[in-house]
Amino acid sequence: MPDTQIVQETDPRCAELEAAGYQVVGESWAAHLTDPDRDLLETAVSRATASGLTVRELGAESAEALHKLEKANEADYPVTPATHRIVGELSETRALWPEHRVFGVFDRSRLVGATVIRRREGWGDTRFTSVLAPYRRRGVGQAVKAASILAFLDVGITRFSTGGGAINDGSLGANEALGYVVDERWRSYQL
């Protein structure tokens, strides 16, 4: 097992680790959104629905559809020491409810995108967002994430956090388009 160090890129230890022979094996980011623009979020959802998709919150009865979506995308998740996602069994997907709220995008009856979010220390914290490959870069990720933010705004949550692997520029772009600001970048080092 290699020695892994995950360090914020502004930390002076980065230079020390590099001088000691550590190599960067992955990069990740964290972003925050405060007092989001409701019109911007509603527009993101409207673009998806105007193209014939349906965006809505999912109950636990949708666990199997969410698990199927996640399994289809599992190999596409960035793999770094800080951002590796293992989907697991259907029982683990079912266990997301009630702590998390899940939002989905449907093309007819097929779940093509989803995001999972929870309330954590007064924030709306996104656990993951997943979009089937043929639907990526079409606003599906933005729409489903916007729907989750709108739902949390309706219950008084106005601060949000998310993150991901730097290699996933689509996710980063979708979040920035909704107003998220990347305020932390991390490097994963190994000897």
Q: Is 94 exposed, middle or buried (0-12, 13-18, 19+ CB in 10 A)?
A: middle
Domain-embedded: residue 80: yes
Residue 142 lies in a domain: yes
Closest CA to 27 of 183, 162, 164, 127: 164
- Residues pairing with 100 in the sheet: 118
pTM > 0.85: yes
Q: What is the pLDDT of residues 99-153, one digit of tens each?
A: 999 999 999 999 999 999 999 999 999 999 999 999 999 999 999 999 999 999 9
What CA–CA distance (Å, rounded) separates 112 from 159?
A: 27
Please state the length of the chain: 191
pLDDT band for position 13 (50/70/90)? Answer: very high
- Predicted local confidence at residue 84, as pLDDT: 75
For residue 144, give its domain range.
Answer: 34-184
Any domain includes 98: yes
Q: Give the 3-state secondary structure of residue 31.
A: strand
Residue 2 lies in a domain: no
Q: What is the pLDDT of residue 1?
A: 60
Task: Tell me what pLDDT residue 170 has.
Answer: 87
121 CB neighbour count, 10 Å cutoff:
7
| 8 occurs within a structural domain | no
Q: Can you tell me the mean pLDDT for 3-23? A: 95
Cis peptide before 134 (omega within 30 of 0): no
What is residue 108's predicted lDDT score, i.e. its pLDDT? 97
For the stretch 51-98, pLDDT in tens is 999 999 999 999 999 999 999 999 988 888 888 788 999 999 999 999
Q: Which pLDDT score is estimated for 80?
A: 83
- CATH assignment of the domain containing 41: 3.40.630.30
**Range 158-173 average pLDDT:** 92
Classify residue 21: in a domain, yes or no. no
Residue 61: inside a domain, yes or no? yes
| Domains identified in the chain, total number | 1
| One-letter amino acid for residue 56 of the chain | R
pLDDT in tens, 35-62: 999 999 999 999 999 999 999 999 999 9
Answer yes or no: is 26 within a domain.
no
Q: Is 21 exposed, middle or buried (0-12, 13-18, 19+ CB in 10 A)?
A: exposed
